[in-house]
Amino acid sequence: MSNKEFAEVPVKNPAKTAIVTGASSGIGLAITRMLLLKGWSVYALARREFTLPEGSGRLIRVSCDLLDPKALRSAVDKILDEAPALDLLVNCAGIGLFGPHEQLKPEDLSEMLRLNLEVPILLCRLTLRALKASKGKIINISSVTAEKDSVFGCAYAGSKAGLSKFSKSLLEEVRKSGVGVSVIQPDLTRTEFYESLDFEPDADPAAALLPGQVADAVAYILDAPDNLVVEELTLRPQINRIQRKVSGKRMDREASDPV
């Protein structure tokens, strides 16, 4: 990995170090901004450039194809060599694929399943020894669909259910080592996630979460006493409603098949 793949913005003596995936937009960007404001040093794994959040922390942008296991391992090894310690892993990168299951392209399904489930599992494996040394935390961003039946989103729901179950099982495995593992399951959140889909959150402010609210949930977990692990947080908007995109128009409906 060349030095050009690391775009560093230095500041003085950040207190703790985190790795965040999906840091270039949406929930991942909000989490990165929150950590920087708290003075963290954040290694942001992302394939594209993104606006630097303001704060007193230190941002190191790491260009990495998460779906390339060798590149992923190389990036993590370099981070662990550079960082004095690793205190937090946030797995936030993910995509959604929706539609009748028989109509979805196998290659698209494979990409989604790998990014949503395989990559977080691999990253936990690659960072676990360092997190045990620091008694750090893992926070996996899943989805409310992990607990529900999702019509036309069964593979997506399966990937998120797998991530939630993995998170809880890993906690049981590593809790005696002092590592905390938490899973956050947000409902509809106003991000770029819906740009390529045929639906989006309703325009009513009460119909969707904001990325910063998910970041607040991460902060809540980080601020918990050392003897307490927040195993799972499910975040729901007050109103459960989406709007379909049909020929440039918006058609409101209740989100009976939540995403």
CATH of residue 20's domain is 3.40.50.720
Range of the domain at 155: 3-254
The reply to whether 98 falls in a domain is yes
As given in the structure block, the two tokens for residue 4 are 């050009």
Q: Based on the residue annotation, tell me whether 142 is a catalytic residue of this protein.
A: yes
Q: What end-to-end distance do the CA atoms of the chain give, in Å?
A: 36
pTM: 0.85
Q: Based on the residue annotation, tell me whether 160 is a catalytic residue of this protein.
A: yes
The reply to whether 259 falls in a domain is no
Report how far residue 184's alpha carbon sits from residue 34's, in angstroms, rounded to the nearest whole number.
Answer: 16
Element (H, E) at 60: strand 58-63
| Interval 43-93: pLDDT, tens | 999 877 766 655 678 999 998 999 999 999 999 999 999 999 999 999 999
Number of domains into which the chain is organized: 1
* Of 156, 159, 164, 194, catalytic: 156
Bridging pattern class, strands 17-21 and 41-46: parallel
| Interval 138-188: pLDDT, tens | 999 999 989 888 888 899 999 999 999 999 999 999 999 999 999 999 987
The reply to whether 232 falls in a domain is yes
| Interval 199-231: pLDDT, tens | 565 566 666 789 999 999 999 999 999 999 999
Q: What is the CA radius of gyration of the chain?
A: 18
* Of 25, 41, 142, 182, catalytic: 142
Q: Based on the residue annotation, tell me whether 156 is a catalytic residue of this protein.
A: yes
Residue spans of beta strands (DSSP E) within 154-193: 180-186
* Of 38, 137, 148, 160, catalytic: 160
